[in-house]
């Protein structure tokens, strides 16, 4: 399967994409994670994107498409993928189509996770992230075994800069404006597939896999 996950911040794209990646054995590429990794390694790409990421603004389309194009070209032709956090604008979606058509691996569809605004704010403001390995937790629904300490690597858990209350409001507003033409882009092409993003990640995963089966996006055995 070759899909992109759409939906506002807090809709659960990251958690769902990582479960899909593990269980269906496809590549999970997240622009946010790629950018944070580059920033923590202080690479030149990291320095270029830091000013946008830490203030909740979108990184320019050309740069994002270039980064994701390079990641996709590295995958073997038979490897499926789920993209999370990309594309975020119609310009990026068109750029992605150009990259994939050159690779002769067209997209199966865009899955959009839907959730009410109150749920988005609640999820984002309670999110805690491991400063070392990037694992996600939530103060109510996904607590670590030891408070403030990552179960996986014992790293320190913190609040992402862009999950701070003032930045959350900004991110949701930026997303609402940028996402409208993006959603229209996929709807017009008959490639938009809504999935209810409420409830636990397992429930959302169940709905997403049911959709993939109906659409015959899963490879045999997958």
Residue 56 near ligand AMP by CB under 6 A: yes
Nearest Cα neighbor of 8 from 172, 210, 214 is 172
Q: Which residues of 168-200 are buried (b: 16+ CB within 10 A; e: fewer)?
A: beebbebbeebbeebbebbeeeebbbbbebeee
Would you give the binding string for ligand AMP spanning residues 121-150, x where CB under 6 A is met? Answer: ------------------------------
Question: Given strand 157-158, what is the order of strands in its sheet?
Answer: 136-138, 127-130, 157-158
Q: Which of 2, 36, 88, 191 is catalytic?
A: 88
From candidates 7, 8, 9, 12, binder to ligand AMP by CB under 6 A: 9
Residue 113 near ligand AMP by CB under 6 A: no
Residue 171: active-site member: yes
Cβ-based nearer residue to ligand AMP, 15 or 92: 92
Residue 38 near ligand AMP by CB under 6 A: no
Please identify which residue in the block is written with the tokens 């830091």.
50
Residue 115 near ligand AMP by CB under 6 A: no
Residue 85 near ligand AMP by CB under 6 A: yes
Rounded to whole angstroms, the Cα distance separating 35 from 67 reads: 9
Q: Is 117 exposed, middle or buried (0-12, 13-18, 19+ CB in 10 A)?
A: exposed
Residue 13: active-site member: yes
From candidates 45, 59, 195, 204, binder to ligand AMP by CB under 6 A: 59
Supply the residues annotated as catalytic.
Answer: 13, 88, 127, 160, 171
């Amino acid at each position: 399967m070759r899909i992109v996950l759409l939906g506002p911040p807090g809709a659960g794209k990251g958690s769902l994409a990582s479960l899909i990646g593990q269980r269906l054995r496809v590549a999970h590429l997240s622009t946010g994670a790629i950018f944070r990794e580059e920033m923590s390694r202080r690479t030149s790409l990291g320095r270029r994107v830091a000013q946008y990421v830490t203030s909740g603004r979108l990184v320019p389309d050309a740069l994002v498409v270039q980064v994701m194009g390079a990641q996709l070209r590295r995958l073997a032709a038979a490897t499926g993928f789920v993209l999370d956090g990309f594309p975020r604008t119609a310009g990026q979606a068109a750029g992605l189509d150009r990259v994939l058509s050159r690779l002769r691996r067209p997209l199966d569809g865009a899955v959009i996770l839907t959730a009410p605004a109150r749920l988005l704010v609640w999820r984002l403001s309670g999110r805690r992230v491991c400063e070392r390995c990037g694992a996600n937790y939530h103060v109510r629904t996904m607590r670590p075994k030891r408070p403030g300490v990552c179960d996986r690597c014992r790293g320190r858990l913190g609040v992402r800069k862009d999950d701070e209350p003032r930045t959350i409001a900004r991110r949701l507003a930026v997303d609402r404006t940028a996402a409208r033409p993006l959603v229209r882009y996929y709807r017009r092409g008959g490639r938009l597939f809504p999935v209810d993003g409420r409830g636990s990640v397992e429930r959302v995963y169940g709905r997403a896999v049911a959709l993939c089966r109906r659409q015959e996006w899963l490879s045999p055995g997958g």
